[in-house]
A and B are shown apart, each in its own frame.
Chain A
Amino acid sequence: MSDVDITEAVAVLRDEVLDTVEHGDRDPPGAEVFDAVLRALTVGGESVPGLDLALHEAVSRRLAWGDNEEVVLADAEMVFDRLVVAVERAFRDPADQMVVIEAATLVAVTVTRVVSLAAVARASRDRAARLREEMAQRQLKEVLEKQKANIVRLEGELKSSDFQ
């Protein structure tokens, strides 16, 4: 294994992996995934809780800004694919390649876990919202029944008053 900091060396690949040329000054899609890979390389070994928290926040932010889960997942997949290709080309030492690939896989699994959790949580919220809607519908139907009865009564009274 080389004596150079692999994190720094992978950071050099940022433009290529995130295709910053294509996106100009905008934050490129998948930046949070690439940053997570760098974090995973920095801490080394297994640090799933920390990685989960940081990624969860980044993914939640994207979902809150209107990106759906499919888009987040597609970006993560793109970053993984490009990083694996770039690393094979850029690192001559297979040991270095393996370190980066392991980190990238860790992040890939974590992203999918976070996205799945977000989707499941959304489903729970949808279920609760559906219950609320059903209750509201019951109340609306009761009101409608009363209104219809009132209308019938008023129409009857109106007919009799016209007659008078």
Chain B
Amino acid sequence: MNQVTPTPPTGIRVAGDTNVGKVRDTNEDSLILEPARGLYAVLDGMGGANAGDIASQTARDAIRDFVIQKRLAFSPKQLLEAAILAGSRAVFESAQANRERHGMGTTCVAVLVVDKSHVIVGHVGDSRCYLLRGGRLQTLTRDHTIVEELVDRGLLAADEAERHPYKNVLSRNLGSRPDTKVDLLELELKPGDRLLLCSDGLYGYASAEGIQYILGSGDEPQHVARDLIELALRGGGGDNVTTIILEAPAAPPSTTQLVRTNGAMAWWQKRQTFLIVAKDRGLTRNPIVRGLDPKDALDVVALSLCQAVFHDLEKSTGVNVWTFAQNLASGWFERGGEWSAVRSMMDILGTASRAVVDEIKVADGKLGFLLDVAVSRALVVAELALGGLLAERLRQVDTDLIQLHTAMHETVDAPTDDTLDTGERFVDRPTIPFLRPDRPVTGAGVTAEVIDGITKTITIARARTSPRAELVKEVLTALDAIASEGSGNFATAVLSARELYGVRSVDEQGIMPLFDALDQARIVIASAVHQIQTTESNRAKVLRALSVAHQRLVSAMTGLVLEAVAPFSERLREIQQTTSDLRDEVASAERRRAELERRFATNIDPSLPWGSRGTTEW
């Protein structure tokens, strides 16, 4: 019997299935699938003379009727508890009324769906509720068996419980008494969560790993319910087996996925706009495409970039745009073309891109925003590729200039004093050991407006700093100097860091106060920058300048720490070398001693074997 329910209004998908198994003749399990009320339950009846199925069916009907009739009279948690207790009373009264049914009872594990992310789980007996979240399976219920109670009270070890003869004897059920205690659990569902309600016919004959594998397979709930039963049957099928699967709605696609699918498609659909804007802005008159038919020019340049951006959006990469920019510019430079033509071309393409993004933004604001970021990234990648080409050309010019300069020195201005030549020129030595050669050493500088903002921010930050926090104030002063200087290089930062560092012990007590002060300064500045009277755009520039300064300062400070700890390693290496030399010397002496002993022994008695005299002392 396979029952699949229609999707309830909460969006939670549910399916249930039950099977008599391979050994039993009757199915004593029952299940409730009531999507209209959000009620789902598995009941496993027990008792001789066909009483087991009567018990589970009696409880099932009573629970379902109670929820339908009284759903407005209770809160969800109270409703589920009262419904299960009503089921227990119904079974008890039925047993009292009929002598043959004496002793019958049933387990019950039930779920009441409150909304799409909120459910109540109630249970009595050893039917279970499992939760699969993020691929991990966990049991939400604890079996009400004598053995489990003993384990809970510390009277039985967990491994002994596995082998205990009473491991299946229930300590609680519905029907043996009119009232029983119901365990209740409120659960918040996360997108994609799966709940499994089952009787012991499943977990008694299927491994937890198998259950986890099938539940996490991603198959439709009705297939999962059926496959779990199949798993139990393959494991022996010694008992009736019943399963119900509840699946919470999946999470909406992430913004990255949105850009990859809808964003890429929207971009490609607007390619005509891109071509029109590119043409209007004069792409076909650019020197790079001189001699080409206007349509070919648009196809070769504008449509190619469109295509490259489309593929990069689809794959969240930048390789296509990078290649496009490299091919476009390197070919042009090889022909002796000027940089201004490439710059103008990139500006036209940028304008066309913005036009496309703006059109998409009108239709779908969120998608437009994401696309704006993604397309800007693509254009930045193109600019980086061009920057790389330019840097290559500049390096060549630089090399040529140095050679020229050296040649001039050798011929015209030969050194007269050899003692001045130390063999290493100042420019050969990096200011900071970890400064990368490809890292820009100068920035664009800062405007007077930004410097004014920096000063105001630091003033507010100083005012908000505790008078006793001298180190924090010194850091703020240093940041003011570095940020206002604005070159973005390390020189000012290194000088400031040296002043702040002073003389310190090379351990946590010595170093950490510095970093605490740097962190404190960061927090105060982040707060102070919002209090200066200026435009939002200028405020962002001020924060940027101060953050770059902060980064330079902490890096320089760490450079000093590394400089301070370096001698420890060097000294260790030196002393290790001395130890190694000593060991060699000892080994050599040992060989010499052994040789002497051998000769000595041979002198006394030539028949003695080599090394038979004397003992090694270490």
* A116 within 8 A of partner (CB): yes
Q: What residues of A have a CB within 8 angstroms of the CB of B592 in the complex?
A: 151
Measured between beta carbons, the chain A residues less than 8 angstroms from B435 are 74
The distance in angstroms between the C-alpha atoms of A161 and B561, with both chains bound, is 64
Chain B residues whose C-beta falls within 8 Å of the C-beta of A116 in the assembled complex:
511, 515, 557-558, 561-562
Q: Which residue of B lies closest to A102 (CB)?
A: B526
User: Is the contact region of chain A dominated by helix, strand, or loop, or is it mixed?
Assistant: helix
Q: What is the chain B residue whose CB lies nearest that of A139? A: B618
Binds A, one of B11-19, B120-128, B138-146, B376-384: B376-384
Check B596 against A71 for contact (C-beta < 8 Å): no
Which chain B residues (341-359) contact chain A, with CB distance < 8 Å? none
Alpha-carbon distance between A123 and B508 when the two chains are bound, in angstroms: 11
Interface assignment of B593: CB less than 8 Å from any CB of chain A? yes
Q: Is A95 an interface residue (CB 8 A)?
A: yes
Asked if A148 CB lies within 8 Å of chain B CBs, one says: yes
Q: Chain B: which residue is nearest A92 at the CB level?
A: B372
Indicate if the CB atoms of A119 and B317 lie closer than 8 Å.
no
B residues near A69, Cβ cutoff 8 Å: 558, 562
A61 at the interface (CB under 8 A from B): no
Q: List 9 A-B contacts (CB under 8 A).
A: A8-B254, A48-B519, A74-B435, A77-B439, A101-B540, A108-B554, A123-B569, A130-B575, A158-B603
B543, A9: Cβ atoms under 8 Å?
Answer: no
Q: Is the CB of B597 within 8 A of A133?
A: no
Given A92-B372, A109-B522: A78 in contact with B572 (beta carbons within 8 A): no
B229-277 interface (Cβ within 8 A of A): 254-256, 259
Give CA–CA (A14, B381) in the complex, Å.
11
The residue from B254, B550, B578, B593 contacting A137, defined by CB atoms under 8 A apart: B578
Contacts of B537 in A (CB 8 A): 94
- With A and B bound together, what is the CA distance between A115 and B562 in angstroms? 9
C-alpha gap A136/B112 in the complex (Å):
72
The answer to whether A15 and B318 touch (CB under 8 A), given A8-B254, A94-B536, A113-B515, is yes
Contact-residue size bin, chain A (C-beta under 8 Å from the other chain): 35 or more
Q: What's the interface size class on B, roughly? A: 35 or more
Which of A70, A76, A101, A112 is B515 in contact with, Cβ under 8 Å? Answer: A112
- Contact flag A158-B599 (CB < 8 Å), given A102-B543, A147-B593: yes
- Residue numbers of A with Cβ under 8 A of B are 2-5, 8-9, 11-16, 20-21, 46, 48, 69-71, 73-74, 76-78, 80-81, 84-86, 88-92, 94-95, 97-98, 101-102, 104-106, 108-109, 112-113, 115-117, 119-120, 122-124, 126-127, 129-130, 133-134, 136-137, 140-141, 143-144, 146-148, 150-151, 154-155, 157-158, 161-162
A4 contacts B255, C-beta separation under 8 Å: yes
Q: How far is the CA of A3 from the CA of B368 in the complex (A)?
A: 12
Residues in B with CB closer than 8 Å to A12 are 255-256, 259, 316, 370, 373-374, 377
Shortest CB–CB separation between residue B604 and chain A, in angstroms? Answer: 7
Chain B residues, CB < 8 A from A113: 512, 515, 519
Is the CB–CB distance between B376 and A90 below 8 Å?
A: yes
User: Which of B58-66, B177-185, B300-308, B580-588 makes up part of the contact surface?
Assistant: B580-588
List A contacts of B374 (CB < 8 A): 12
Q: Is the CB of A141 within 8 A of B582?
A: yes
A13 to B565, CA, bound (A): 36
A128 vs B523: C-alpha distance in the bound complex, in angstroms? Answer: 37
- B539: Cβ under 8 A from any A Cβ: yes
**Complex partner residue of B568 from A9, A115, A117, A123, CB under 8 angstroms:** A123
User: Smallest CB–CB gap between A159 and chain B, Å?
Assistant: 10
Bound together, the chains give a CA A155 to CA B603 distance in angstroms of 13
| Chain B neighbourhood of A77, CB < 8 A | 434, 436, 439, 551, 555
For B529, what are the chain A residues with a Cβ–Cβ distance below 8 Å?
A: 98
Q: Which residues of A contact B431 (CB under 8 A)?
A: none
**Shortest CB–CB separation between residue A162 and chain B, in angstroms?**
7
Taking a contact as CB atoms under 8 Å apart, the answer to whether B369 and A2 are in contact is yes
Residues of chain B within 8 A (CB-CB) of A70 are 433-434, 562
Confirm or deny: B213 has a beta carbon within 8 angstroms of a beta carbon on chain A.
no
Task: Please tell me which one of the listed residues A21, A74, A97, A162 contacts residue B319 in the complex, with CB atoms under 8 A apart.
Answer: A21
Chain B residues whose C-beta falls within 8 Å of the C-beta of A129 in the assembled complex: 572
What is the CB-to-nearest-CB distance from B476 to chain A, in angstroms, rounded to a whole number? 14
Provide the bound-state CA to CA distance between A16 and B319, in Å: 10
Partner of A144, one of B433, B536, B585, B596: B585
What's the nearest-Cβ distance from chain A to residue B450, in Å? 13
Is the Cβ of A147 less than 8 Å from the Cβ of B589?
yes
Report which of B370, B583, B600, B604 forms a contact with A4, defined as CB distance below 8 A: B370
Does B590 sit within 8 A of A, measured CB to CB?
yes
Going nearest first, the 6 A-B pairs with the smallest beta carbon separation are A94-B540, A8-B255, A70-B434, A123-B565, A154-B596, A147-B589
Contacting residues, chain A, for B617 (C-beta < 8 A): 143, 146-147, 150
* Inter-subunit contact A86/B434 (CB<8 Å): no
B96 within 8 A of A: no
Do residues A20 and B317 form an inter-chain contact, with CB atoms below 8 A? yes
CB distance from A150 to the nearest CB of B (A): 5
A73-B558, A101-B540 are contacts. A140–B575 as well, Cβ < 8 Å?
no
Whether, in the assembled complex, B455 has its beta carbon less than 8 Å from a beta carbon of chain A, the answer is no
Residues from chain B with a CB closer than 8 A to the CB of A3 are 366
B506 within 8 A of A: yes
For chain B, residues 536 to 562, give those with C-beta under 8 angstroms from any C-beta of chain A.
Answer: 536-537, 539-540, 543-544, 547-548, 550-551, 554-555, 557-559, 561-562
Is A120's CB under 8 angstroms from B322's CB? no
Q: A90-B377, A127-B568, A151-B593 are in contact. Are A161 and B603 (CB under 8 A)?
A: yes
At the interface, yes or no: B197 with Cβ under 8 Å from chain A?
no
Contact between A98 and B576 (Cβ–Cβ < 8 Å)?
Answer: no
Q: How far is the CB of B390 from chain A (nearest CB, A)?
A: 16
Q: Which residues of A contact B322 (CB under 8 A)?
A: 21
Instruction: Kindly identify which residue among A5, A8, A86, A104 contacts B380, using a CB–CB cutoff of 8 Å.
Output: A86
* Residue with the highest number of chain A CB atoms closer than 10 Å, among B543, B562, B564, B617: B562
Q: 0/1 per residue, B289-324, Cβ < 8 Å to A?
A: 000000000000000000000000000111100100
